[in-house]
Amino acid sequence: MLSVFSSPGHYVQGRDATAALGAEMTRLGIGGPVLIVAGSSAFRLLADTWERSLTDAKIAYSIHLSGGECSRAEIARIAHAVEQSGSTVVLGAGGGKVLDAARAVADDLDLPMISCPSTASSDAPCSALSVIYTDAGEFEAYQLVRRNPALVLVDTSVVAQAPARLLAAGMGDALATWFEARTCSAAQVRNMRGGASTRSATALAELCYRTLLADGAQALTAIRARSVTPALERVVEANTLLSGLGFESSGLAAAHAVHNGLTAAARTRPFLHGEKVAFGTVTQLVLEGAPASEIGTVLDFCAEVGLPTTLAALGLPDADDETLWAIAKRATAAGETIHNEPFTVDAVMVVDALRTADALGR
């Protein structure tokens, strides 16, 4: 098995970075016209800056307002908008689901994709992977695309305007990166790009975890004050770049499979991806028999930044056997990443791990 490391073509991050969008596209030889697939908040905050930056660079563009879900129906709507506008570049601007839908369309139409996250709420921006949901919000499938984004541009001035909960959710998603990476490396399984993990990917995953522990709480304080600080910049980088490279080039394991399982319980759907992944991380550590000290560090971090550590905190205060079995069966479905664990995992083990993780969280 060959080792494979996957990354975007170019990564730009910093205060007021959107103003450089046109110049960065020109420098990379990416012309237009471009279709901007925008979430509502991204459109509200950035429409004027897109106008100035792209007009100055003489790049034509049009805007498609996203429906908010990365579903087959939304992907079809965006593809129609691309074809109607004659666009040759697809730019996603918004949260993870907006970026995932734009990425899927760009791959389907064999066009370059630009990723402009308006939050640091997940590690979606850098990857060549779209998570497809049903219109009702239940996990459906991972869609691997052929290429990573040509450009990822992260405007931390915009990220700082987002609710603090979104940054915390991004930390929940990033929290899993190191634990899933080391599991996949130990099990010698294929990463998300079909190859073995590199030492570089594992090192980035570990740096991601260390950054969260060191800077997570301070970054939350900054975003509550709508301020861009060095701690916020470091956590945005961890949530976006380090976690994105770490998960894609190392692999996923039980934490994300538990997230997928939780989507089978309708009452968890109002909760964010990273919030469910955080609980999935605790569940993975229980499943693997991790030391109590390590689980304690993760639980303390989650408490410090406001991530859920109990089923009640995810809308399941009275989860019965039927609900837990539904979650566990979905988490252990054929092809799920929980089967990257270096031992056989079945639904019985997951139910026990869910109950124990919940008890430890309480």
Give how far Cα 99 sits from Cα of 28, 71, 154, 179, Å: 20, 12, 12, 25
173 a known binding residue? yes
99 a known binding residue? yes
Tokens coding 44: 């509200």
96 a known binding residue? yes
Active-site choice (256, 300, 320, 346): 256
Active-site choice (64, 107, 215, 259): 259
Rounded Cα distance between 318 and 330, Å, is: 19
Residues 6+ apart with CB under 8 A from 29: none
Q: CB pairs under 8 A, 24+ apart, for 290-297?
A: 295/360, 297/213
Give how far Cα 68 sits from Cα of 32, 91, 111, 124, 234, Å: 24, 15, 21, 15, 27
276 a known binding residue? no
Query: Is-contact 137 264, C-beta < 8 A?
Result: no
256 a known binding residue? yes
Q: Is residue 320 annotated as part of the catalytic site, yes or no?
A: no
Q: Is residue 256 annotated as part of the catalytic site, yes or no?
A: yes
CA 25 to chain centre: 24
Sole residue written with tokens 């997230």: 259
200 a known binding residue? no
212 a known binding residue? no
166 a known binding residue? no
85 a known binding residue? no
Active-site choice (273, 320, 321, 352): 273
Query: Is-contact 36 64, C-beta < 8 A?
Result: yes
Sole residue written with tokens 């509200």: 44
Closest to 13 measured CA to CA, from 162, 166, 167, 155: 155
Active-site choice (155, 173, 215, 358): 173
350 a known binding residue? no
Q: Is residue 64 annotated as part of the catalytic site, yes or no?
A: no
CB neighbourhood size of 157 (10 A)? 17
98 a known binding residue? yes
Beta strands, E only, 57-128: 61-65, 89-94, 113-117
80 a known binding residue? no
Query: Is-contact 161 222, C-beta < 8 A?
Result: no
Residues 6+ apart with CB under 8 A from 49: 18, 19, 21
Residue ranges for the binding site for NAD(+)?
Answer: 96-100, 127, 129, 133
Residue ranges for the binding site?
Answer: 96-100, 123, 127, 129, 133, 173, 256, 273
**Which residues are known to be catalytic?**
173, 256, 259, 273
Residue ranges for the binding site for glycerol?
Answer: 123, 173, 256, 273
